[in-house]
Amino acid sequence: MLDCHYHLDESSVSVDGLLKSMDSCGVSRTALIAPMCPDIKHNLFMALASPVFLRLLRSKIKAANAAVRAIYNSWVKENCQVDVGGRLYPLTIQPDNKRIVQVVQEHPERFYGWIFVNPKGLEDPVSQIDRYSKIPGMIGVKAHPFWHSYPVSMLWATAACCQEKRLPMLIHLGVGENGDFAWLAKNFPGVNFIFAHAGIPYQRDVCALAASAPNVFVDISCSSYINVPIAKMAVKLAGPKKCLWGSDGPYFHHKDDRFDYSFYVQLLKNLNLNSEDEKNISSGNFEAILQGQSK
């Protein structure tokens, strides 16, 4: 299995702990992202509210979607903080790609790295992509217009650079202009976009677009944003060639320097896929993107 979405938060799980966790759960390789916040904790509120939130978000009733999206949007606070389950976490404006490069170079058989950019940050995204994309194993670009709070149009130079270098982008969408997935897909047909967490907060619409747009994919990572009904919806709407397995670890599932992959392994099993679809979602679709075969 290939995990396309994991945050290297070494205060929660060390590199060695992650390798052991991958080995014990059959994960051959993991694509690392620099962390942008301290370790996020699950609490009772989240456990109770999450299923209701997710149900309303994937509802066919537009008013329900809009109401839930407004709540989702309210989690991003002023002065670079985010509210997760009623608790405030400070965000990193410029996530540290150097550490990701180091770990990828130390374990080239086990890790890939995403180059995390922020067009509102301190470093120019294009110069970061120029520098890091030359390094073997640094596979594409991650952007978080939701938590870093910017319109996706600010990713114009980043996406143009990815198009030129044939690099995929992993994007966690915000709301409104911060989540304009259709604009990205239309303007950069040469970039394979993987929208995180089935395209939250536009899961139904993003998955529907993935079915028709060759450059649109979704990942089914993060137990706060994905459950079995949503993952099934993603596979049904986007198609089994357009969904990628991932964890969004180490958040919510780590203990004693181990990341517990079992929720995500079980999630995939619970989709009751045939073996070909399961293989494509667990690794084949991501491999195809990395080999540039999906273009």
143 vs 235 by CB, closer to Zn ion: 143
Query: Minimum distance between the CB of residue 132 and Zn ion, rounded to whole angstroms?
Result: 18
Residue nearest Zn ion (C-beta atom): 248
Query: Minimum distance between the CB of residue 96 and Zn ion, rounded to whole angstroms?
Result: 15
Query: Minimum distance between the CB of residue 247 and Zn ion, rounded to whole angstroms?
Result: 9
194 vs 273 by CB, closer to Zn ion: 194
Site of interaction with Zn ion (CB under 5 A): 248
1 vs 273 by CB, closer to Zn ion: 1
Query: Minimum distance between the CB of residue 248 and Zn ion, rounded to whole angstroms?
Result: 4
Query: Minimum distance between the CB of residue 26 and Zn ion, rounded to whole angstroms?
Result: 21
132 vs 195 by CB, closer to Zn ion: 195
Query: Minimum distance between the CB of residue 107 and Zn ion, rounded to whole angstroms?
Result: 20
173 vs 191 by CB, closer to Zn ion: 173
Sign of CA dihedral 159, 162, 168, 172: negative
Residue 158: C-alpha distances to residues 125, 143, 162, 233 (Å): 6, 9, 6, 30
Tokens of 16: 């060695």
Tell me the backbone φ, ψ of residue 140, rounded to 5 degrees: 180, -165
**Which residues is 244 bridged to in the sheet?**
219
How far apart, in whole angstroms, are the C-alpha atoms of residue 61 and residue 104?
Answer: 44
* 32: Cα separation from own chain's centroid: 10
- What is the CB neighbour count within 10 angstroms for residue 129? 23
β-pairing, 169-171 vs 29-33, is unpaired
8 vs 273 by CB, closer to Zn ion: 8
Instruction: Quickly list DSSP for 216-278.
Output: EEEE---TTT--HHHHHHHHHHH-TTSEE----BTTTSEETTEE-THHHHHHHHTT---HHHH
